[in-house]
């Protein structure tokens, strides 16, 4: 199997439950220019909801009991312009910076510890649902679960990591809004496989393979990121 697959339609989910592939480029494309207009408006309108990958936010919003563990596992590569993102699904309508639920400070985010909490089922927060994103969500919202809009400024990135180790294979959906030729994915234990993904395209990413991302120079790298349910993967491969 090729490591970078373009437009496969004959694969089954069972074919992808391994670490023999890195990325799948899907057939559909999106209007990334219109989505960047949405991003430009959203990022101002919801500035207060932005999560910044820095010690200040982790100190305030993370569970104090897990801070040392996160220090060991944290893939964020800080610079003077760290990565930032908007987490767009939550069980309550709230627009402060939202952490990963499993790391959340229980006193600030008690709803993340409810028996009914489920990343994959949390509703989209209403203030994000306008403009070109609303059109995108109407068409592909079934596949966009646990959504984040992620931004990597010049010099920022995530170090080599796996989201969960094999035999767990979590397949993520990445929709490229804006990028430059220096925005790279690296795959493999030695980061020896390098890919540049194109604005307007949709990709499935195998997060059981060691991977990293970096913006080595140029404008901000803007991506919409979600986690499809496994039972929807084969349907996505057949999208036109």
Helix 32-45 crosses helix 131-140 at what angle (to 10 degrees)?
120
Cα 117 to Cα 101, 105, 123, 168, distances in angstroms? 9, 15, 11, 21
Q: Cα 185 from chain centroid?
A: 13
Instruction: Write down the pLDDT at residue 104.
Output: 96
Farthest-apart Cα atoms in the chain, separation: 48
Mean pLDDT calculated for residue range 112-128: 96
Is the per-residue pLDDT at 77 higher than 70? no
If pLDDT is split at 50, 70 and 90, which confidence band does 9 have?
confident
CATH numeric code, 4-237:
2.60.120.330
Both tokens of 150, joined, read 């992620």
Tell whether the model's pLDDT for residue 79 goes beyond 70: no
- The reported pTM is 0.94
- In degrees to the nearest 10, what's the CA dihedral of 230, 231, 232, 234? 100
For residues 54-81, average pLDDT: 83
The pLDDT value recorded for residue 66 is 87
Which burial class, exposed, middle or buried, applies to 144 when counting CB atoms under 10 A from its CB (0-12, 13-18, 19+)?
buried
For the segment 97-112, the average pLDDT, to the nearest whole number, is 95
In the chain, domain spans = 4-237
């Amino acid at each position: 199997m090729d490591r970078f697959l373009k437009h496969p339609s004959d694969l089954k989910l069972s074919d992808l439950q391994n670490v023999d592939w890195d990325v799948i480029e899907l057939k559909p494309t999106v209007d990334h220019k219109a989505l960047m207009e949405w991003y430009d408006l959203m990022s101002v309108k919801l500035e207060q909801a932005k999560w910044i990958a820095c010690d200040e936010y982790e100190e305030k919003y993370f569970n104090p009991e897990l801070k040392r563990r996160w220090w060991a596992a944290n893939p964020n590569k800080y610079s003077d312009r760290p990565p930032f993102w908007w987490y767009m699904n939550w069980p309550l309508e709230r627009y402060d910076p939202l952490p990963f639920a499993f790391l959340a400070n229980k006193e600030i985010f008690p709803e993340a510890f409810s028996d009914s909490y489920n990343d994959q089922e949390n509703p989209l927060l209403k203030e994000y649902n306008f403009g070109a994103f609303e059109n995108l969500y109407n068409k592909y919202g079934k596949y966009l679960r646990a959504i984040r809009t992620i931004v990597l400024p010049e010099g920022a990135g995530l170090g080599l990591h796996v989201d969960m180790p094999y035999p767990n294979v979590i397949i993520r959906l990445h929709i490229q809004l804006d990028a430059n030729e220096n925005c790279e994915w690296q795959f493999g234990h030695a980061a020896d496989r390098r890919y540049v993904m194109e604005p307007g395209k949709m990709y499935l990413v195998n997060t059981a393979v060691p991977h990293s991302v970096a913006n080595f120079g140029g404008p901000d790298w803007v991506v919409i990121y979600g986690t499809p349910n496994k039972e929807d993967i084969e349907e996505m491969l057949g999208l036109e």
